Amino acid sequence: MKQSTGDPQGTPSRGLEHLLQQVERSTSHYEALSVERSASDAQIIAAYQQATAVLQPWRTALEARGEAAADALARVELAASRLAYAYSVLSNPNKRIEYDRFVVVRTPGPLMNDAAPPPVAKPVASPRALELRVASAPVSEAKENRRRSQRVPLSAKAAIIGYHRKTGKWAEEAETVDASRTGVTLRLRHRVRHGNVLYMSLPLPAHLRSHGADEPEYRVYALVRRVHPVKDGIRVTALEFVGEEPPAGYLEKPWATFQTKPWSGAERRRAPRKPGGQMIWVEYFTEDLQCLRQEAGRTEDVSDGGLRIAIKGAPPEFEFVRVSAPERGIESYAIVCNRFLKDDGLERLCLRLIGNAELTERAVSRPEVEVSAAAMKAAPTPIRGRILVADDDLPLRRVLGKILSSAGYEVVLVEDGKAAVEKAAEIKPDLVITDGLMPKMHGFLVCKALKEMQPAPKVIMLTAVYTKLNYRFEARDRYGADELLTKPFEVANLLKCIERHLGSASQAMAG
C-alpha cells in the first residue's frame, strides 16, 4: 500500500486522493486498510502505518490553512478516523474474530459497528456523494424516508444464484421492484430464509453501485433481509448488498444464514415500541394455514403494529404466525420481518401484525388451496356429502372451506355456535365440524344440540383448549361427539376422519 504523498503545502496528490477514495468507498475494515481477510497481524500494522504516513502530513498542513481548506480537512479527518477504528478492531484478536462472524454491510456512509467511532468533525460531502444524495432522497420525501438510502422504482431482470441445504445450488431469473445503493427488492419464486446470502447479477444504474461502475452487469452478493408471504406463486423479497466478496463462512456453507450488525442509527420504525416481558403463545402456520408447531414465547418489545418475541426455535420454513395471550385479550396473526439468533441461544422473531382480511386474501389468493400429497393419498376418492363448518376464526374457517371443497364436499360456513345449530336445522348436513370454544354458544353444547336432531349429523370437534384426555371422553360420552381433534391438526388426518365417519354413516343407511 505504498502511496505518493505529494506536497502537503499544495494541491492534494494523486496518492492521497487514491487513499481517500479507497477509505470512503470501503465497506469493511479490510477494504479500508487495503488488506485481504487472511492478512497477518504484521500486514495489518504495516498497512495502517503506511496509510497514517500519507494522511498525517496533509492533516497538519490543512489545519494550518484554516477555513480555506475545511472541505479537504474534513475528508482527511474522516478517513483517519475510519482507519484508526478499522485498525483497533483488526489488531485485536478477539474483536477481529467477533467482527468476522458477521456480514459486513455495504453502506455509502461510515461503517456500522457495535461501538461508536471516535468523534470527528462533520464531513462536507464530496461532489459525488452530494450527487448520490440528491438522486436518492428528494427533499419533499426526506421526512417520510425511514430507509438509510431512498429506493427508486426499477423493473429489470436479475439472475439469482442460491443454495439449499438438501437440494444444493439453484438459479432463477427474477424481476426487480425497486433498488437503492444498499439493496434491492425483487419478485422471487424460490423459497429463501432470512439471513441467506444470494449471488446476483443485474443492470443496476451506475449511481447506485459501490463497485464495477463501468461493467454492463452489477455482480454482488446480497443478504436476505425480508421475505413476504407467497402471493400468486411469487414472494416479494428484500435483499441488502454485501459486496463483491461473500461473508466469511459462505464458501464452506453457502446455504447457512448470516446476520448484520445491529442498526445503531436513528429510530426508523413507524410506531414507537414499548418494553415487553410478557409470556405469549406462538403458533406457526403454512401457506394454507396448517399449524406446524406451537410454543410459548416472551415479548421483548411491542407497538401498535408489531412486536419482537424471543422463542426457543421456530420451524425452518413457515408463512404465518399467530400470537395470543388469552388472559390479556391478545390474538393476532403476523408475518415475519426478521429473524435471528442471539448469544443466549434463543431465536428472535420481528413480527408485523396483520388483520384477518389480509391473511385471508393471502391464504386463498391462489385459484385453489393445494392439498398435500399425503392428504390426497389419504382420501383418493372422497365420499361426497354436505359439511357444515363452525369456527369463529375467519381465516381458518375459509381455508377449511377451500380444502373441503377441493376434496369434493359441499361446504357451508358459519361463525358462531348459535348460527351452527340454526343452520344445521335448516340444511340437514351429513357432518358438522365445530370449534370447541365459540361465541354465543359453547362448542360442547352445539354438539349436544346437533345430536338431538333427527337425523343427527356426525360431529367432529376441533379444539386448542380442551386437549387433556378426560375432555375427549367427556365430549364423546356426555355430549355425543363422534371425534375430538386437537389443534394443530394435519389436513390428511382431518380428511381421513371425515371419510371414516361419513363412510360408516353411508353403510348404516344402506343396511
pLDDT digits (tens, 9 = 90+) for 106-145: 333 333 333 333 333 333 333 222 222 222 233 333 344 4
For residue 505, the domain's CATH number is 3.40.50.2300
368 lies in a domain?
no
| The residue count for the chain | 511
User: What secondary structure does DSSP assign to 164-211, as a single string?
Assistant: ETTTEEEEEEEEEEEE-SSEEEEEE-S---TT-EEEEEE---GGG-SS
Structure confidence by residue, pLDDT tens digits, 13-56: 667 888 888 887 776 788 889 888 888 989 999 999 998 888 88
- 504 and 387 in one domain? yes
Supply the Cα-derived Rg of the chain in whole angstroms.
30
pLDDT value for 4: 42
Q: For residue 185, is it within any domain?
A: no
Examine the fold and report which residue of 80, 102, 124 is the final residue of a domain before the chain moves on: 124
State the pLDDT at residue 223. 92
Looking at residue 361, its pLDDT comes to 60
Classify the phi-psi angles of 323: left when phi > 0, otherwise alpha if psi is within -120 to 50, otherwise beta.
beta
One domain, residues 387 and 477: yes
Which pLDDT belongs to residue 450?
92
Q: Does the residue 487 lie in any domain? A: yes
Tell me, yes or no, whether 502 and 392 share the same domain. yes
Is pLDDT above 50 for 385?
yes
Residue 417 and residue 349 in one domain: no
- Which pLDDT score, from 0 to 100, does residue 160 have? 95
One domain, residues 295 and 378: no
Q: Which long-range contacts (CB under 8 A, 24 or more apart) does 493-496 make?
A: 493/378, 494/433, 494/460, 495/371, 495/375, 495/378, 495/379, 495/382, 495/403, 495/407, 496/378, 496/379
Residues 54 and 115 in one domain: yes
The string of DSSP codes covering 248-262 is TTTTT-TTS---PPP
What pairs with residue 350 in β-bridges? 308, 338
Opening angle at CA 37, ends 33 and 41, nearest 5:
70
- Are 290 and 340 members of one domain? yes
The reply to whether 435 falls in a domain is: yes
- Domain contains 172: no
Contact 44, 83 (CB under 8 A): no
Which residue, among 482, 413, 473, 402, has the nearest Cα to 450 in the 3D structure? 482
Q: Note the pLDDT of residue 25.
A: 77
pLDDT at 362 over 90: no
Contact by Cβ (8 Å): 75, 18: no
Cell numbers at 224, concatenated: 436476505
Domain edge (last residue) among 311, 331, 363 = 363
The answer on 107 and 38 residing in a single domain is yes
Q: Could you tell me which residues are beta bridge partners of residue 315?
A: none
Residue 227 resides in a domain = no
* Residues 280 and 402 both lie in one domain: no
CA distance 410 to 502: 13
| Band of residue 159 on the pLDDT scale cut at 50, 70, 90 | very high
Residue 230 within a domain: no
Environment class of 358 (CB within 10 Å of its CB; exposed 0-12, middle 13-18, buried 19+): middle
* Residues 304 and 425 both lie in one domain: no
Helix-strand-coil percent breakdown of the chain, rounded to 5?
A: 35, 25, 40
Query: What pLDDT, on a 0 to 100 scale, did the predictor assign at position 59?
Result: 80
pTM: 0.46
Which domain does 100 fall in, by range?
Answer: 14-124
At residue 381, the pLDDT reads 44
Instruction: Indicate the number of domains in the chain.
Output: 3
CATH number where 21 lies: 1.10.287.110
- Mean pLDDT to the nearest integer, 482-494: 76
pLDDT band for position 485 (50/70/90)? confident
| Amino acid 386: pLDDT | 92
> Do 370 and 363 form a contact (C-beta atoms < 8 A)?
no
Nearest residue to 371 (alpha-carbon basis) of 361, 382, 360, 356? 382
* Statement to judge: residues 346 and 404 lie in one domain: no
Instruction: Please give the single-letter amino acid code of residue 449.
Output: A
The residue from 106, 124, 142 where one domain ends is: 124
Residue 119: per-residue pLDDT: 36
303 and 405 share one domain:
no
Q: What is the DSSP letter of 510?
A: H
Region of poorest pLDDT, from 12-26, 78-92, 118-132, 460-474: 118-132
pLDDT at 509: 45
145 within some domain? no
Statement: residue 442 has pLDDT above 90: no
